[in-house]
Each structure stands twice: as C-alpha cells, then as structure tokens.
Structure 1
Amino acid sequence: MEITIKIDRRSEQAKAFYEYLKTLPFIEIEEVRYNKNTEEAIKEVKSGKATKISLEDFRKQLFS
C-alpha cells in the first residue's frame, strides 16, 4: 500500500516530523522538484524516449 503525505515544512513541528519520517526504514521519501509535467519530461529524457533537435528545427516546427 502506498500513501502520499504533503508536509508544509515551514513550521518547526512539521520539520521535526519530516526528519523523524526520514529515519524510519519503511518510509521512502520522494521529493518533487518541479510540477508533474516537468518531472515526467525529465524521466522521458533520462530514459531515452526524447529526441534531440536543433533550435532552428524546433522553431520551424513551432511556426509551420
């Protein structure tokens, strides 16, 4: 079973709770740096699903 918990770490209590969770062996912390779409795009690039394109060709695709 997987549970998602969102913690606003601006308060001292929340920071302490977050640090405690990190010490537990059965807890896996997945910190998201960007929004969902950006994270998915980064994963695609790392897995080789994206293709490299020059800026000139990209502009042609945008404006044609």
Structure 2
Amino acid sequence: MDLILKNVKKKDFPVLKSLAKSLGFEIVERKEKPYNPEFVKEILEAREELKQGKGIKMTLEDIDKLWK
C-alpha cells in the first residue's frame, strides 16, 4: 500500500521521516518538476499577443469546421 503526504511543513518532515524509519517504511521523496521554461515562455508570449489584439476570434462553428 502507498501513502502520499502532501503539503507537509518543513519543520514536520524530519519527525515524519524518523517515525517512518522506525516503523520500517520505505521513504520516497518526489519533488514536482517545474514546467519547461520554453513552454512557459511561449504561453506568456501568446497571452501578450492576445492583449495586443493580434489574436483571432472564432465561433464554435469555425472550430468545428477545423476538425472536419
């Protein structure tokens, strides 16, 4: 069985870690990976372009035509 603890405060982590070790649990730490910086840059640039009016407006019918 797996147990996942989220939002653990830094001050509480050593206590939980030592408790888990004393009970013989395996401890696996995972750090969330940040988004790819290039992807973030593209999204931010696209948002800025929309603010500047460089985007196009499409109706649902227009979008539906793209799929067909």
Q: Give the TM-score taking structure 2 as reference length.
A: 0.37
Bigger Rg over Cα: 2
What TM-score comes out, normalization by structure 1 length? 0.38
